[in-house]
């Protein structure tokens, strides 16, 4: 039937295949851990007091009527600190959009923890960003913020279509533990 050398060869091949299988699983787990670490680093930056101050100023405290008004109040020549805030917040969400696009971070994580912030930022700033793109001839300005906004809205539409209503707490708690 099988001689000793054949059994040894079969065992060797089986050992190699098992090793490859476990190696690939470990590699997948390492990548997942790195992606989670990256997301948590970004989340820590987002929730920092400094970032929250910049974000709050843009979304709640700064007011403008149009692009000219915005530029006169928050432009680089008139208000360098506000300008820096716009850039810092924009670059942060631009980077997040790129990471989502490259599938380095799961859109569901961003949707679960950051969606409102992205939506409020884009909806407040969209008119000035669109005008800035035209005036500067740079369609890339905040392009990944816009991408992120539409991905989140798309994700919300899918979730809404799958539910008859919003059941936030019931998604993760069931039975008598759920108290609203």
pLDDT in tens, 58-80: 999 999 999 999 999 999 999 99
* 177 part of a folded domain: no
Place of tokens 């942060």: 92
Q: What value does the mean pLDDT of the chain take?
A: 83
% the chain with pLDDT above 70: 83
| Number of domain units in the chain | 1
CA dist., res. 61 & res. 58, Å (int) = 6
* 94 part of a folded domain: yes
* 18 part of a folded domain: no
- Range in 4-8, 152-156, 158-162 with the lowest mean pLDDT: 158-162
pLDDT, one tens digit per residue, over 76-122 is: 999 999 999 999 999 999 999 999 999 888 888 888 888 999 999 99
* 23 part of a folded domain: no
The residue count of the chain comes to 180
* 6 part of a folded domain: no
Letter string b/e over residues 61-85, b meaning 16 or more CB atoms within 10 A of that residue's CB: ebebeebeebbeebeeeebeebeeb
Query: Which domain range does residue 128 map to?
Result: 48-162
* 109 part of a folded domain: yes
* 54 part of a folded domain: yes
* 85 part of a folded domain: yes
């Amino acid at each position: 039937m099988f001689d000793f050398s054949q059994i040894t060869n079969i065992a060797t091949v089986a050992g190699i295949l098992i090793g490859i299988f476990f190696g690939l699983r470990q590699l997948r787990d390492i990548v997942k851990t790195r992606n989670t670490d990256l997301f948590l680093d970004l989340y820590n930056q987002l929730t920092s007091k400094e970032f929250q101050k910049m974000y709050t100023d843009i979304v709640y405290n700064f007011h403008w009527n149009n692009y000219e008004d915005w530029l006169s109040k928050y432009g680089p020549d008139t208000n360098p600190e506000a300008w820096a805030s716009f850039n810092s917040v924009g670059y942060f969400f631009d980077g997040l959009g790129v990471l989502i696009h490259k599938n380095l971070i799961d859109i569901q994580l961003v949707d679960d923890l950051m969606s409102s912030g992205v939506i409020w930022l884009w909806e407040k700033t969209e008119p000035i960003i669109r005008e800035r793109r035209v005036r500067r001839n740079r369609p890339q300005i905040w392009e990944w913020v816009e991408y992120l906004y539409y991905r989140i809205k798309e994700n919300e539409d899918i979730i809404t279509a799958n539910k008859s209503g919003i059941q936030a707490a019931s998604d993760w708690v069931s039975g008598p533990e759920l108290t609203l």
